[in-house]
Amino acid sequence: MNKNDILKGLEIRALSSDGSGIAKPEGFPIFIKDTLPEDVVTAKIIKVKKDMAYARMLSVDQASPDRVAARCAVARPCGGCAIQELAYDKQLAFKDDKVYNCLLRIGGIPAKILDAAHEAPLGMDKPWRYRNKAQYPIGKDRDGRIITGFYAGRTHHIVETEECFLNPPEFAAILRTFIRFCEENRMEPYDESTGRGQVRHLVIRKAFGTGQLMIMPVIRSMKKLDAKTREALKEALVGIPDLATVVLNENPDKTNVILGKETEILYGPGYIEDRLGELTFRIGPLSFYQVNSAQALRLYEKAMEYAALTGKERVYDLCCGIGTISLFAAKRAAHVSGIEAVPEAIEDARVNASINGISNVSFTAARVEAYLKENAGIKADVVILDPPRAGMERSALDAIAAALPSRIVYISCDPATQARDIKVFLAAGYHLERYVTVDQFCQSHHVETVVLLSRV
């Protein structure tokens, strides 16, 4: 097998963890994007390794019974919706299987225990238009025309589109207004290769519980945006229905990181407020907030169910962000301590506690690992974890186990690192009691998982 070979009659047997189809002619795995189990396809080899190859699908010669028509015209080139052409019930099954296999193979948990702990995945009745945040790169096409859209998978090539069926419909109209402003005011898009240009991204956030909108252009230099242009930008945007605030974000670095550290309020209070269940949350321009509000509520409700709080417990919420889970728990516990490395998030968390009139919660800005080391010997009844994709450091896992919580609720967006960390807890005397997958990221291969561990 060589690069550029064209292979016909490839039968797709399974999906990889990133949603690519896997064919195995003569037992040799070939990964083919945009294919589904039971598809028969023709594909062109684009890369060959010792034990695997990668190919580009040229045609679907026999379609899988689970294949559905994509709603989006750029579903294949765009990097956002790897499994949009898979029937939704099969998407849920794929994600559920991915979590199960990680817990089995990486976590080393026997199938019998997994089967007993498993709960049916929590999907959406309408798995579209759910995203409360979108980040649109701004660039130019070959003719010098200003364009926007989304990056193709594993690239920084913009696939041009204004419409995305994961985002609220009003986002497309806002995007058109902003592009028109850039054209009329000669605001040049940023060029990653040269470091020149001014406009990098447009970020839009919507609070589904209140309808409030935040618009945040990301630019290279605040100083180069004069007062006249600032006023023109504000005038172009303030007529948008439900607009609560416009914030500028400055990212001067020659990097592909989207957001910079500095922000400037152009209009409104500089934040939006959302309602989630019975609670109100203030969301700033740099705040982390679950991207699917409807599923976030189900996620937090499941976490509270697993925590089984009675009003007497001391709870630690590690990697607490702006305090969402902490405040849900505080309504049910004696006291909650939220720990988060990002100081701005802790400021938001304290404001959110005040807004909701919740006083039995405290927030500390510190790296979880450092906090647990400095506070060795703490005792907790329940620990809730919601770490970044990379998971927790081993020292933190050991410190959590040493705190002897009766229950650990571990929330993760990466089942592989979650399973790795859970293995440490199992060795420390914990038992996997329940787990469930939550489809926070419909049409993509990503998945959120909530796991309950109980001390034996």
Count of H helices and E strands in the chain?
10, 21
For residue 59, give the amino acid letter.
S
Which one of 78, 81, 102, 413 is the catalytic residue? Answer: 413
Nearest to 393 by CA among 413, 373, 409: 373
Asked if 274 and 322 count as a contact pair (C-beta separation under 8 A), the reply is: no
Dihedral sign, CA of 197, 201, 202, 205? negative
Enclosing H/E stretch for 112:
helix 111-117
Tokens of 59: 């045609």
Could you tell me where the beta strands, DSSP code E, fall in 152-242? 158-160, 199-206, 213-219
| 243, β-bridge pairs | 213
Cα separations in angstroms, 244 against 172, 268, 345: 17, 6, 20
Is 182 catalytic? The answer is no
Distance, in Å, from the CA atom of 24 to the CA atom of 7, rounded to the nearest integer, reads: 12
Residue keyed to tokens 């026997």: 110
Tokens of 391: 């998971």
Q: Which residues contact 36 (CB under 8 A, 6 or more apart)?
A: 12, 15, 21, 64, 66, 67, 83, 85, 86
Nearest to 431 by CA among 103, 99, 113: 113
Tokens of 358: 């919740």
Determine how many CB atoms are found less than 10 A away from the CB of residue 125: 6
Residue keyed to tokens 């797709």: 12
Q: Which residues contact 381 (CB under 8 A, 6 or more apart)?
A: 312, 313, 314, 315, 405, 406, 407
Determine how many CB atoms are found less than 10 A away from the CB of residue 317: 31
Counting other chains too, the contacts that 60-65 makes at CB distance below 8 Å and 24 or more residues apart are: 60/35, 61/8, 61/9, 63/39, 64/12, 64/36, 64/37, 64/38, 64/39, 65/38
- The catalytic residue positions are 413
